[in-house]
Every structure is written in C-alpha cells, then in structure tokens.
C-alpha cells in the first residue's frame, strides 16, 4: 500500500524545525492543505518508523500512519499547544497502535518491578543503554535486537522506542502516552531488562567489544 499523504511523499530523513511548527499549526487550523502537507512531510517518516516497530504488519503500519495524520487534520482545533506537535502526533500514533492490537486480540501484559526498584529515584540509577548505533555494527546482533523489541508488550515497546529512538524526554513520553513520569521510568527500565536478557547470549559470547 502506498502512502499518499504529504507534499513530497514519505521522506524518512526530514525533520521539522520547532520554530516553524507554530506557523504551520496556525495554517493547519485554518485547514490550509499546503501547510498540512508540509507538516506531514516533516513528521511522517518518524511516525511511520515508530508505528512499524509497534505493529507486525507493514501494511497495517502504512494504514495507521495515514490514519494518524487524518486524525490530526480533523482535530487540529483540539490541539492546545501544551505539548509539541511531535508529542501530539506520537500520542495519536500510540493510541491507534494499541487499538489495532486490541482488535487483533493481542494481550498486553506488564511484569511487576523487581523488589526494591519501585522508587522513581532508583530508576535513574540503573541506565543500561542498549546503544543501537553500536549494536547495528553486528548484523546478527542487530537482528536479535529487532526481535527482542518485537517481543515486548506494546506498553514497554512504545516507551523504549520513544526514548531511545526518538530521544524523547521522560516528560515528553508521559505527555504522549498519558502516563505519570514514574510509570514511564519503570516501563523503560523493564524494557531494558527484557532487551538485556534477550541479548545476553551475544554479549557473553564476546561479539561486542
């Protein structure tokens, strides 16, 4: 399925300038189609990248990505500007992914935190980043990373992708997903534990120096 939104089609490398967002937003609120196309061009690659990792089907990812921008266009009047446009779009994308998963009867489960790690403050002490650029150097290991991410629950995967792939802050993720910051931290910790567990055979094997 071909994504037909935007002025220049899907462009994975394009990013919007924050200062341009406010002007584009005002035009979009007036239903300026050209302005909306520019906004889509700026963000659709990042939205699709997030959605594609959240859903198992590429076709579903195309459909949901299109739906994200359709919803945005229809509801610009509801955007209050308290978060960034990027955060708002990821919130729409996340909600649509969860809806799609629920319709497919996929269960979303979350394990409790290990004893002694319930405190928000302690979440910041353990930060075993999985360094995606470093892991990408190893083809087999990179594939294992993708499989590990795909094997997470949607709750954990969305937090991990927004933080480690989109460089979103705890506050931005909390706004995007409608969660307390403490929950964001705990889910990010659990996602990294899951990832580290899946990659232990590679790490112990000495494939990463």
Give pLDDT tens digits for 100-125. Answer: 877 765 444 455 555 554 444 444 43
Say if residue 178's pLDDT is above 80.
Answer: yes
Domains of the chain: 18-103 (1.10.1740.10), 120-204 (1.10.10.10)
Give the residue, 119 or 60, on which the prediction is more confident.
60
The band of 65, judged by pLDDT with boundaries at 50, 70 and 90, is very high
Sign of CA dihedral 151, 155, 161, 163: negative
| Lowest mean pLDDT, pick from 117-131, 147-161, 174-188, 195-209 | 117-131
Among 50-54, 82-86, 94-98, the range scoring the smallest mean pLDDT is: 82-86
Q: Between 2 and 24, whose confidence is greater? A: 24
Question: What was the pLDDT predicted at 119?
Answer: 47
- Cα–Cα distance measured from residue 128 to residue 72, given in angstroms and rounded to the nearest whole number: 35
pLDDT band at 87 (very low <50, low <70, confident <90, very high): very high
- Provide mean pLDDT across the span 162-178: 92
Mean pLDDT over 178-197 rounds to 92
CA–CA gap between residue 201 and residue 195 (Å, rounded)? 11
The residue among 137, 156, 148 whose CA lies nearest residue 200 is 148
Mean pLDDT of the chain: 76
Average pLDDT score over residue span 82-110: 79
In terms of pTM, does the model score above 0.75? Answer: no
Sign of the C-alpha dihedral, residues 39, 162, 52, 12? positive
Residue scoring higher pLDDT (69 or 80): 69
Task: Report the alpha-carbon distance of residue 46 to residue 14 in Å, rounded.
Answer: 9
**Integer Cα distance of 172 and 51 in angstroms:** 17
């Amino acid at each position: 399925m071909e994504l037909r939104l935007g002025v220049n089609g899907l462009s994975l490398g394009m990013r919007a300038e924050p200062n341009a967002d406010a002007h584009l937003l005002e035009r979009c609120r007036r239903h300026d189609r050209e302005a909306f196309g520019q906004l889509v061009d700026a963000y659709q690659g990042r939205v699709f990248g997030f959605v594609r990792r959240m859903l198992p089907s590429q076709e579903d990812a195309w459909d949901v990505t299109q739906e994200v921008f359709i919803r945005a266009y229809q509801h610009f009047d509801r955007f209050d500007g308290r978060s960034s446009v990027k955060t708002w779009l990821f919130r729409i994308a996340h909600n649509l992914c969860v809806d799609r998963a629920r319709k497919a009867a996929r269960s979303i489960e979350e394990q409790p935190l290990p004893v002694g790690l319930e405190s928000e403050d302690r979440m910041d002490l353990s930060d075993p980043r999985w360094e995606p650029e470093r892991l990408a150097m190893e083809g087999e290991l990179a594939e294992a990373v993708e499989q590990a991410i795909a094997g997470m629950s949607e709750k954990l995967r969305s937090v991990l992708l927004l933080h480690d792939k989109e460089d979103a802050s705890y506050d931005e993720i909390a706004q995007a997903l409608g969660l307390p910051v403490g929950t964001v931290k705990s889910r990010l910790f659990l996602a990294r534990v899951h990832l580290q567990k899946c990659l232990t055979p590679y790490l112990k094997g000495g494939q990463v120096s």
